[in-house]
Chain A
Amino acid sequence: MAVCIAVIAKENYPLYIRSVPTEDELKFHYMVHTSLDVVDEKVSALGKALVDQRELYLGLLYPTEDHKVYGYVTNSKVKFVMVVDSSNTALRDNEIRSMFRKLHNSYTDVMCNPFYNPGDRIQSRAFDNMVTSMMIQVC
């Protein structure tokens, strides 16, 4: 389903990034990096919005020819970026939203793990498995 999933820390360095092995990894890293500016822009615009519009899910950040990039920012300013193949038109906004929800739940579990140091790279196997399941669901 997703071709690349990344978790970016408050200070904008990657905590976790994984992409499908069949494609060029560097390209995805580049796309995620580019998306951070859009995330910043969206967050600062959202700050002024009404309460019910201040959602954690940011929606589509930007589309490219082959991919779509979606974003999500938690209250602790940790960013989740997901790159989806744009040929997959069956994927609706609601599904993306629920995928981010799952990702956030999993991230919270990692944060609450006493053996995890906040700010370190995520090496949790449970988190890894969850990401894998999101990547292979449809494709």
Chain B
Amino acid sequence: MADEALFLLLHNEMVSGVYKSAEQGEVENGRCITKLENMGFRVGQGLIERFTKDTARFKDELDIMKFICKDFWTTVFKKQIDNLRTNHQGIYVLQDNKFRLLTQMSAGKQYLEHASKYLAFTCGLIRGGLSNLGIKSIVTAEVSSMPACKFQVMIQKL
């Protein structure tokens, strides 16, 4: 199906677009990740509003995280998160063994240094989604070997 590729292509263009504008001096160099993250944030907010329209009310934090791992991930990335772990004190680790945005690059460690820019948007996506559901969080991504990656969600208690 062609529509599955569209998101990948758009995302690739977005990343290279932001980095190109940094080269031309429109965006400060270190701000590219932040910019991509902020784009993801806004998109996540909109998406979660749409996805949770017909679901029952969430019971607790874990319920919300499960929703992100299953429904949200399936809709955006066509697969579920492979492993969700938590210490029950506000830290969640979402592991995806075959993250869709990294599958187009060669597997292994060759392009590891470029991975972070392809994960920033998704970090924002998670953070935006959670914030719209009333959870403030910090999301970081970690890759040790492509295309597997881990997202760490740190919930900020009020």
Contacts and interface: CB of A to CB of B under 8 A. Distances in A.
A12 interface: no
Nearest to B56: A54
A75 interface: yes
A55 B56 contact: yes
B57 interface: yes
B48 interface: yes
Contacts of A56: 56-57
Among B46, B57, B60, chain A packs the most CB atoms within 10 A around the CB of B57
Interface in B33-72: 42, 45-46, 48-50, 52-53, 55-60
Contact of A76 (B42, B56, B60, B132): B132
Contacts of A111: 45-46, 49-50
A64 interface: no
B46 A112 contact: yes
A54 B49 contact: no
A51 interface: yes
Contacts of B55: 75
Interface of A: 10, 43, 46-47, 51-52, 54-56, 73-77, 104-105, 107-108, 111-112, 114, 118
Contacts of B30: none
A105 B53 CA distance: 8
A51 B56 contact: yes
A16 to B, nearest CB: 15
Contacts of A54: 56-59
Interface of B: 42, 45-46, 48-50, 52-53, 55-60, 132-134
Contact of A47 (B48, B49, B57, B132): B57
Contact of A108 (B53, B59, B60, B133): B53
A64 B114 CA distance: 62
Instruction: Specify which of A75, A107, A118 lies most central, judged by the most chain B CB atoms within 10 Å of its CB.
Output: A75
A118 B49 CA distance: 11
Contacts of A108: 49-50, 53
Contacts of B52: 74-76
Contacts of B133: 75-77
Contacts of A112: 46, 49-50
Nearest to A107: B49
Contacts of B48: 75-76
Contacts of B46: 111-112
Given A75-B52, A112-B50, A118-B45, A55 B57 contact: yes
